[in-house]
């Protein structure tokens, strides 16, 4: 299988480019989806000096197989939602848009528990393939680099 193996430097360049585009929308807060979105989210914070929170979803089981139902493993506290999310422009950051399952569920959860002014989604890599879910029309989507449907081995996933 053909693999894409970006370096940390590659990721920094992509995130910096995306941050320039995201800054046009002046986000008030960032949410990194834990797992893959933590490092790009922290890199984004270098360029967008706003509060950064994390949320978590489990899509894969211990055998790296997709589970039947996605599981929310970490979410925002009620006070955080009131202070930082309601009525604000929220940037959601993840490393890859593959099936779009995690991104879709994150946005659905945000809309269930809050009323953000705007939601922006930024991913480091968007795989150009059919997705399981469609993002709502009011979501602003800013991908970094577009790739084929290939396995991406991020530097933080490399096993020595």
* pLDDT tens, position by position, 66-107: 767 788 889 999 999 999 999 999 999 999 999 999 999 999
Structural domain harbouring 105: 3-57+70-157
Low-confidence ranges of the chain (pLDDT < 70): 1, 60-64, 67, 160
Q: Is position 46 within any domain?
A: yes
* Confidence (pLDDT) at 26: 98
Catalytic residues: 98
Predicted TM-score of the model (pTM): 0.93
Domain count, the chain: 1
* Confidence (pLDDT) at 58: 83
Q: Is position 12 within any domain?
A: yes
- As a whole number of angstroms, the distance between CA 28 and CA 49 comes to 9
* Confidence (pLDDT) at 68: 73
- As a whole number of angstroms, the distance between CA 7 and CA 127 comes to 18
The domain that holds 16 is classified in CATH as 3.40.50.2020
* Confidence (pLDDT) at 112: 95
Q: Is position 62 within any domain?
A: no
């Amino acid at each position: 299988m053909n693999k894409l193996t970006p370096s940390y430097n590659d990721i920094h360049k992509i995130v910096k480019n995306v941050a320039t585009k995201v800054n046009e929308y002046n986000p008030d807060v960032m949410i990194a989806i834990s797992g893959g979105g933590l490092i790009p989210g922290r890199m984004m914070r270098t360029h967008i000096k706003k509060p950064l929170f994390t949320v978590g979803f489990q899509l894969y089981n211990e055998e790296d197989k997709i589970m039947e139902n996605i599981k929310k493993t970490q979410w925002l506290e009620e006070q955080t939602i009131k202070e930082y999310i309601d009525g604000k422009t929220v940037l959601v950051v993840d490393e890859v848009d593959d099936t779009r399952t995690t991104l879709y569920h994150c946005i659905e959860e945000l809309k269930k528990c809050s009323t953000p002014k705007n939601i922006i989604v930024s991913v480091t890599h968007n795989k150009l393939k059919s997705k399981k879910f469609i993002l709502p029309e009011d979501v602003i989507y800013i991908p970094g680099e577009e790739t084929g449907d290939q396995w991406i081995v991020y530097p933080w996933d490399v096993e020595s």
